[in-house]
């Protein structure tokens, strides 16, 4: 079963009977660090009212104080000395967003030795030094949280540790590297070269500082190894893991996949045979049948299917890399850690949090029928007589509802025909007015069948 070593117990250095402000320090102000700072600042008052404490964004450590940053931060909040962040007695939560395994290890262990909470996005560090890190957690009573280390904004760690805790997984299969998936998608769908697609992933902040970690499969191996440990309690040794990257993939491979009903994906596959007592971990490019949900996970998105003995197969998909998605996971961990420190009820369920939500809810109204908009599909059974369709279209035109597509089916000798059509986006109120008039037409022989055409945008 999943080791629960990332325990949410109270670090011994905080007395929550007197502390009502939680200090947050950040190591690294790059893609992820800036995302965390930006979204914590924007959501600060909402998070404070949920948690019942004040949040104090203390400082961020960087290498180069002169570097231009995309996110606004006062010069006084930046430091070149990470220890200034870690050793600040007012910093309770340290976010390690530097990357790498040398300095990051040293700083993480220092923060943990002080009993602090460390929130990390660093899969390489966890994979290579997990046992040492959790030994420090146990020794000093701090916490180490790592939701952001696997699959960007997808709460996969939480899903395994909490939501799916009743399950034993014989298969975990996923697309765990956003850079590889972005490259394969751009090569396959847009004909970009490997080099251009990689450059794009770097510009968008998806790739590691050393992108060979992405394209050679090492980053996905780090993540697969974390998932395997979480699900099965065992770190997969590098020597016993099949690790292949995507450098060898060319247009002919992508073309074969497309012709024969596959998508080319970089997969992480963790299998467990409970009877025989073995586990395998592998990361490699693979042909995935188009019918599999993972075949449709494209671009920077990641997707993970967990096959559990209780829940069956559950798939989570979402953005797997980038500052915003990763910040979402880091902030989730920060909030969990603070809730544990303060003894707050599970997220969003304390009576204060519910009261705050309800207060915000009082200012909220339910949308009016004019504001609910979508394209519609309609099936009409019509009398087979000249001029009938015109009568129908006149109603659409009267209510300014534009028709996008029409198909007419004739049923010889039955005296009736079927018309199916779709509209451009229109409000529920207008569509309802159209429907009311259609029902009154003697030439409409049956109750019209109306379906909404779903679009995430409307």
List, by residue number, the catalytic residues: 223
CB of 103 to ligand NAP, least distance (A): 4
Strand ordering across the sheet containing 278-289: 242-243, 278-289, 262-273, 169-175, 301-308, 312-319
Mode of pairing for the β-strands spanning 426-427 and 373-374: antiparallel
Could you say which residues in the range 96-125 bind ligand NAP, by CB under 6 A? 97-99, 103, 121-122
77 interacts with ligand NAP by CB under 6 A? no
Nearest-angstrom CA–CA distance, 323 and 33: 8
Instruction: Decide whether 78 or 433 has the Cβ nearer to ligand NAP.
Output: 78
- If you search the block for the tokens 């998909």, which residue do you land on? 317
Side-chain-side CA neighbours of 75 within 13 Å: the count stands at 4
Binder of residue 67, out of ligand HSE, ligand NAP, none (CB less than 5 to 8 A by kind): ligand NAP
CB of 126 to ligand NAP, least distance (A): 9
Pair 2, 160: CB distance under 8 Å: yes
DSSP code per residue over 190-221: H---HHHHHHHHHHTT-S-SSTHHHHTSHHHH
322 interacts with ligand NAP by CB under 6 A? yes
Pick from 456, 386, 377, 384: which is nearest to 421 by CA? 377
CB of 242 to ligand NAP, least distance (A): 22
Site string for ligand NAP, 146-165 (x = CB under 6 A): --x---x-------------
Instruction: Decide whether 144 or 376 has the Cβ nearer to ligand HSE.
Output: 144
CB of 218 to ligand HSE, least distance (A): 10
Instruction: Decide whether 205 or 282 has the Cβ nearer to ligand NAP.
Output: 205
Select the residue interacting with ligand NAP from 51, 197, 208, 430 (CB under 6 A). Answer: 208
DSSP 3-state of 299: coil
Site string for ligand NAP, 33-52 (x = CB under 6 A): x-------------------
Pair 423, 403: CB distance under 8 Å: yes
Nearest-angstrom CA–CA distance, 53 and 290: 48
Binder of residue 177, out of ligand NAP, ligand HSE, none (CB less than 5 to 8 A by kind): ligand HSE
Total count of residues recorded for the chain: 458
Q: Which residues bind ligand HSE (CB under 6 A)?
A: 152, 177-179, 206-208, 214, 219, 320-321
Site string for ligand NAP, 281-320 (x = CB under 6 A): ----------------------------------------
CB of 180 to ligand HSE, least distance (A): 7
Mode of pairing for the β-strands spanning 143-145 and 117-120: parallel
Nearest-angstrom CA–CA distance, 166 and 73: 44
Q: Which residues bind ligand NAP (CB under 6 A)?
A: 28-33, 61-64, 67, 82, 97-99, 103, 121-122, 148, 152, 205-206, 208-209, 321-322, 326
């Amino acid at each position: 079963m999943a080791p629960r070593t990332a325990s949410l117990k109270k670090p011994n250095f905080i007395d929550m009977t007197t502390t009502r402000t939680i200090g947050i320090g950040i190591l690294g102000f790059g893609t992820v660090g800036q995302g965390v700072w930006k979204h914590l600042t924007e959501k600060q008052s909402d998070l404070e009212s949920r948690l019942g404490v004040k949040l104090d964004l203390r400082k961020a450590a960087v290498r180069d104080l002169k570097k231009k940053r995309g996110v606004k931060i006062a010069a006084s909040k930046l430091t070149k000395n990470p220890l200034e962040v870690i050793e600040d007695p007012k910093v309770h939560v340290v976010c390690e967003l530097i990357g790498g395994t040398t300095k990051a290890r040293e700083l993480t262990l220092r923060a943990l030795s002080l009993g602090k909470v460390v929130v990390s996005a660093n899969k390489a560090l966890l994979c290579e030094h997990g046992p040492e890190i959790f030994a420090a957690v146990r020794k000093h009573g701090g916490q180490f949280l790592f939701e952001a280390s696997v699959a960007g904004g997808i709460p996969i760690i939480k899903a395994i540790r909490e939501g799916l805790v009743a399950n034993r997984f014989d298969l975990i299969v996923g697309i765990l590297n956003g850079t590889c998936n972005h490259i394969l998608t751009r090569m396959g769908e847009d004909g970009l070269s490997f080099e251009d697609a990689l450059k794009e992933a770097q510009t968008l902040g998806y790739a590691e500082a050393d992108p060979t970690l992405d394209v050679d499969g090492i980053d996905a191996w780090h993540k697969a190894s974390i998932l395997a440990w979480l699900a099965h309690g065992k770190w997969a040794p590098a020597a016993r893991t099949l690790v292949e990257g995507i450098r060898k993939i060319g247009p002919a491979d992508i073309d074969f996949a497309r012709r024969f009903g596959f998508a080319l994906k970089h997969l992480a596959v963790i299998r467990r045979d409970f009877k025989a007592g073995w586990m395998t971990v592998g990361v490699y490019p693979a042909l995935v049948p188009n019918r599999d949900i993972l075949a449709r996970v494209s671009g920077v998105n990641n997707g993970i299917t967990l096959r559990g003995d209780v829940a069956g197969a559950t798939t989570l998909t979402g953005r797997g890399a980038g500052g915003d998605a990763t910040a979402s996971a880091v902030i989730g961990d920060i909030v969990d850690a603070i809730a544990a420190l303060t003894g707050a009820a599970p997220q969003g369920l304390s009576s204060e949090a519910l009261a705050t939500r309800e207060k915000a809810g009082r200012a909220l109204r339910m949308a009016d029928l004019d504001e609910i908009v979508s394209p519609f599909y309609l099936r009409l059974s019509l009398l087979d007589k000249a001029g009938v369709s015109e009568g129908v279209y006149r109603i659409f035109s009267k209510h300014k509802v534009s028709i996008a597509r029409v198909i007419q089916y004739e049923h010889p000798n039955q005296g009736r025909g079927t018309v199916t059509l779709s509209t451009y986006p229109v409000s529920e109120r207008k569509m309802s007015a159209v429907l009311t008039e259609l029902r009154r037409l003697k030439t409409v022989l049956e109750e019209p069948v109306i379906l909404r055409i779903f679009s995430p945008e409307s």
